[in-house]
A and B are shown apart, each in its own frame.
Chain A
């Protein structure tokens, strides 16, 4: 043996076993509760039934008119469409509002009025305007993602160290130079925060939008499950929303870590 010994950091046994135990207990209890009829199967589907439906839905269009991954793909398209539009509009707007008085004066009052309205409240109007297709849902999702983008970018610019601004002024820097060279770099950490927050908002609003007005997507699947009195489809839809959301979260996290590594140096 060498003088150096490898130090093994052990995860405590409790933290290794108990999660497995708790998850297993949860699903088994769920299964038993449904199988024994304590909760009737018209109100809740057993995990095994959901799993069956999951496997079946990859090849069977019935009864909701699309395959599972098609639903997921529709949802992802809508979410990312709205998300990227929210970034494209919200970040420049927030940054400009943080520095230029004209932008703040013009946009702030309207933004403050629109901000407290939950995106879901826009759904009826959206249906009048766009129908139930892709553009309407992207609009709802865009509204939801816009708010955190604007706020974070705005606060990020406002947090620029005032002494740095004074320093730039004494060198004769113009407002535009200060905005570009000082305010935007200062705001970047907050902007990266906005990427995460906005995505979470977009995904939540997506499901809300689809629950009310859609002909495909994961939220639509949940609604169809209710209409067709198929609790297993409702549960499967919910499960897929969670899984896909978590998956996208992991991807964004990876991307952000890479980009931030370049910024924090």
Chain B
């Protein structure tokens, strides 16, 4: 899995196993992610994708194995882990700006740094104009953009995304995916992006991990070495997409 062009390993997942009583959900998963890499994870419905992310984010303790960030066991208090959930997670009593600041406040960053970072991020995602609105005054897709901005704002060691755009229409999704890719390139975070949408995975990521049915293992790994911006009609794009589709279908 080591790539010579990559600077160094950021995330190392070793023999990760998760059991709920008798039910084995994650079965001895090992992989590593390089610093600044964008990895997509796809798999059949109900294969334990969300359990996988919850374990990676330390919301659930692993039954076995460990997750290392920069060589030390992952810990939300020590490392900067961000998690963008499927549903919008804005705090209704905070303005857009205060919502984006939330992660940094929890981390106890100095107010001056927070303000500078906020100006930068809000400008990047074009939310400056609605910075002082409350979540109930903006659309659901805007709320999801706030969650994404909040996630990037803490300068994450590991950014986990659980189908963040699953509930949006196609056009808006393309737009937000472009925005996500551009944020990732500018801020150089390490991203793990879970989705069931194969086209989306090929469009945004550099590498795709294909999960098997339960008990979940990594079944295959597909490199996506396409220039950006990517084109859905590009034959190579279509080939990768179909290849991943076949991998998911064949179990």
Contacts and interface: CB of A to CB of B under 8 A. Distances in A.
Q: How large is the interface on B (under 10, 10 to 19, 20 to 34, 35 or more residues)?
A: 20 to 34
User: B-side binding surface: helix, strand, loop or mixed?
Assistant: loop
A167 interface: yes
Nearest to A178: B106
Interface string A25-42: 000000000000000000
B76 interface: yes
In this complex, which of B76, B78, B93 has the most chain A Cβ atoms within 10 angstroms of its Cβ? B93
B15 to A, nearest CB: 22
B163 interface: no
Interface stretch (B83-91, B208-216, B222-230): B83-91
A166 B91 CA distance: 13
Contacts of A188: 93
User: A-side binding surface: helix, strand, loop or mixed?
Assistant: helix
B81 interface: yes
A169 B91 contact: no
A170 B83 contact: yes
B102 interface: yes
A167 B147 CA distance: 10
A200 to B, nearest CB: 27
Given A166-B83, A166-B85, A167-B85, A172 B93 contact: no
A177 to B, nearest CB: 6
A170 B76 contact: yes
In this complex, which of A166, A172, A173, A263 has the most chain B Cβ atoms within 10 angstroms of its Cβ? A172
B134 interface: yes
Contact of B83 (A167, A173, A174, A181): A167
B57 interface: yes
Contacts of A172: 75-79, 81, 106-107
B243 to A, nearest CB: 32
B59 A185 contact: no
B106 A171 contact: yes
A265 interface: yes
Interface string A175-188: 00100011001001
Given A163-B87, A166-B59, A167-B89, A173 B134 contact: no
Contacts of B91: 164, 181-182, 185
Given A174-B77, A181-B106, 17 more contacts: A163-B87, A166-B83, A167-B83, A167-B89, A169-B58, A171-B76, A171-B81, A171-B82, A171-B103, A171-B107, A172-B75, A172-B78, A173-B106, A181-B102, A185-B93, A263-B93, A265-B134
5 contacts: A163-B87, A166-B85, A168-B106, A171-B76, A172-B77
Interface of A: 161, 163-164, 166-174, 177, 181-182, 185, 188, 263, 265
